[in-house]
Amino acid sequence: MAKIMLAPMEGVVDANMRNLLTRIGGIDTCVTEFIRITGQPLPDRDLLKKVPELLHQGCSTNNVPVIVQFLGCDPQMLAYHSQRAVALGARGIDLNFGCPSKTVNKHRGGAVLLDEPETIFKIVAAVRDSLSADIPVSAKMRLGNKDKFLAVDNAQAIEAAGASSLVVHARTKIEGYRPPAHWQWIRKIKESVSMPIIANGDIWNWQDYQQCRTVSGCEDVMIGRGVLADPGLALTIKQRLRGEPVTGLDWAATVQLIIEYYENVQLQLPPPFVSGRVKQWLNMMRKHNPKAQQLFEQVKKVSDLKEMTKLLDMQLQMALAGRL
């Protein structure tokens, strides 16, 4: 059956979020937030803090494989850290050539490297050569930095360097996240290489999923913002593919998920930053869910943790009672 990957989203899809979303079902693989590699080696404890799944055979608590993603421009340092991650339990390594962050790009990381196919080749080749053949090395790229002229060249460089697969986010760095996603360009890339290509960008529902696969020609997809907006989306897609009744995730179950996420964040972050994470998630949901919009309006100015807990608990009780 077609695979669904959970996209890496810096500052959003951390281990806490990965564990919650993979529990629902439908997600086959996760890719971590990028771990930025510079000229200094990172201690193992930093890798384990970013990817605690390494302590559990490289899987989420729901036994979904988690691939470690690195970002940088130094081939040898990326190879070194890939070896360290595998020694700690990583099941695979992914290389980020898609991050649009100005800060990251300023230091020659992420999407800006799409102007340099030869550098991308060197990075992928160095990582691939540093690991045993049974450890997959993949990459994620956008269609380009400022334009799409080198899209096929970059994909071919990644394949020639030995990558096992490639995720393509169907926009350039300049296009950011503005619609539309250019799925037809993914097809051009797919037809230019023989390695598996995974389509990414603007999959918000079952109809988008079907259209993306038709236009891109890809069997497998990666979804990020769509799953955060509707945590039951991957499960819904898999149920439709299997011809099963669609259960999805109702509002009460979604609020329970938000509450659990909120409780976990309190164990991770100082109090002033906790409520912001909940608002961030609700902000992603509200454009596609009127109930999330209503809850967001209630909590958007709340910073007191007790008040936030009270509002979330009240929302859950109302949802369970069918009053929402």
pTM, 2 dp: 0.95
Q: Give the total number of structural domains in the chain.
A: 2
For residue 65, the 8-state DSSP code is: B
Same domain? 45 vs 64: yes
User: For residue 99, what pLDDT is reported?
Assistant: 86
pLDDT of residue 248: 83
What confidence score (pLDDT) does residue 169 get?
98
> CB within 8 A of 170, min separation 6: which ones?
143, 181, 182, 183, 185, 186, 199, 200, 201, 202, 216
- Structure token digits, residue 298: 């209630």
Per-residue confidence (pLDDT) for residue 101, from 0 to 100? 85
The span from the CA of 92 to the CA of 74, in Å, is 19
- The domain boundary, picked from 187, 220, 242, lies at 242
Quick one: how many helices (H) and strands (E) in the chain? 14, 9
pLDDT of residue 149: 97
Beta strands in 176-302 (DSSP E): 197-200, 221-223
pLDDT (tens digit per residue) in 92-147? 999 999 988 888 888 888 999 999 999 999 999 999 999 999 999 999 999 999 99
The CATH number of residue 76's host domain is: 3.20.20.70
Per-residue burial over 169-198, b if 16 or more Cβ lie within 10 Å, else e, is: bbbbbebeeeeebbbebbbbbbeebebbbb
Q: Which of 30, 73, 99, 218 is catalytic?
A: 99
Tell me: do 178 and 278 sit in the same domain.
no
Which residue ranges of the chain lie beneath pLDDT 50? none
Tokens of 239: 């149920």
In a shared domain, residues 93 and 233: yes
Res 31: pLDDT: 98
38 and 103 in a single domain? The answer is yes
Cα distance from N-terminal residue to C-terminal residue, the chain: 36
Report d(CA 247, CA 294) in Å as an integer: 23
Task: Give the closest residue to 283 by CA, choosing from 297, 269, 271.
Answer: 297
Q: What pLDDT, in 10s, does the model give residues 191-220?
A: 999 999 999 999 999 999 999 999 999 999
* 238 and 266 co-located in one domain: no
Co-location of 177 and 296 in the same domain:
no
Task: Determine the pLDDT at residue 104.
Answer: 82
Per-chain mean pLDDT for the chain: 96
Residue 49's pLDDT is: 95
203 and 297 both lie in a single domain: no
Residue 99 known to be catalytic: yes
Residue type, 151: A
**pLDDT value of residue 91:** 96
Domain extent at residue 297? 251-320
